[in-house]
Amino acid sequence: MGKLKTYWYLLGLLVRGYREENINKEQYLLQVLRTTNNPELFKQICVILQHAGSLFCIPTLMAYSRNESYKGLSSVDAIEGIKRRVIKEELAELEAFFTYEYWQPTWIVPKEKFISYVACLSGILSKEHLFDKDVMQYMATALLREIKINLTPYHSFKELFLCTPDWDAGEDVKRVLADVNDDLVIGNALAETTITIHPDRQLEENLLNMRADFLLTRLNLNVDYAEFHYLLKAASVLNRR
């Protein structure tokens, strides 16, 4: 059924081209892209996204763009195809949007906060043992490959952790939970009224989701993608000034 659904969506996007109402189908295909081990299916999806994909595809495709296999070549072609369809007047403002550096996360707050960030995300790997040191080390190693962060004077996450004995995740976890609660309250309020999100808030929300798309694709962990996506988005509050 899943394979049939994938090809049905591919056919629909190919025939109708880009339309805003295709966003859910597009997101489904991006998830297939992340999980498939079939080179031909990966290439086919990239060809369709090149023809009919929206800007929301860019982070996931960009996550594969430096891959030296067929994934890199196919995703770069898809990115270039989407870029060609952007209105020329808007392209100047969006130029950085089509670069790997734009999507690669940069840690901008004190490095000690990174410990709390790692602790929050590690819950996806070990729900029974929160703040397990081995699990945190595994998650930190994966994150440090993808996030630009200066740990100086420490040489590793382990050193940072050991040399920060007063670290307490309590306040940081509360901050993440408060942000999640605010998100749920706003979501419920919008669902029950005709009020719409302010365009600036919608843009911020879209970028948060897209940055989470990029990072979870790069990390490629064997976890529930929807749950991890939400967790990445929620924990990102710790990297805001």
What is the pLDDT at residue 89? Answer: 62
121 and 230 together in one domain: yes
Q: Are residues 172 and 226 in the same domain?
A: yes
- The gap from C-alpha 45 to its chain's centroid, in whole angstroms, comes to 19
Sign of CA dihedral 108, 109, 111, 113: negative
- Domain boundary among the residues 76, 103, 130 is at 103
> For residue range 59-111, what is the model confidence (pLDDT) as tens digits?
999 999 999 999 999 999 999 999 998 776 677 778 889 999 999 999 999 99
C-alpha–C-alpha distance, residues 127 and 131, integer Å? 9
Whether 89 and 141 share a structural domain? no
pLDDT score of 85: 84
Answer yes or no: is pLDDT of 5 > 80.
no
Q: Which residues of 128-147 are buried (b: 16+ CB within 10 A; e: fewer)?
A: eeeebeebbbbbbebbbeeb
- pTM flag (> 0.85): yes
**Model pLDDT, residue 100:** 97
**For the chain, what percent of residues have pLDDT higher than 70?**
83
**Full domain range(s) for residue 96:** 2-103
How many angstroms separate the CA atoms of 239 and 108, rounded? 6
pLDDT of 1 higher than 50: no
User: CB count, 10 Å around CB of 87?
Assistant: 7
Task: Note the pLDDT of residue 221.
Answer: 95
Residues 147 and 83 in one domain: no
pLDDT for residue 98: 93
- Of 78, 103, 128, the last residue of a domain is 103
Mean of the pLDDT values across residues 17-32?
78
Q: Domain check: are 94 and 32 in the same one?
A: yes
What's the pLDDT at 95?
Answer: 86
Q: How much is the pLDDT for 29?
A: 93
**Number of structural domains in the chain:** 2
Instruction: Note whether 145 and 233 are same-domain residues.
Output: yes
Instruction: For 179-227, write each residue's pLDDT tens digit.
Output: 887 776 566 656 666 667 777 777 888 899 999 999 999 999 999 999 9
Is residue 48 domain-shared with residue 116, that is, in the same domain? Answer: no
CA 136/CA 56 separation, integer angstroms: 30
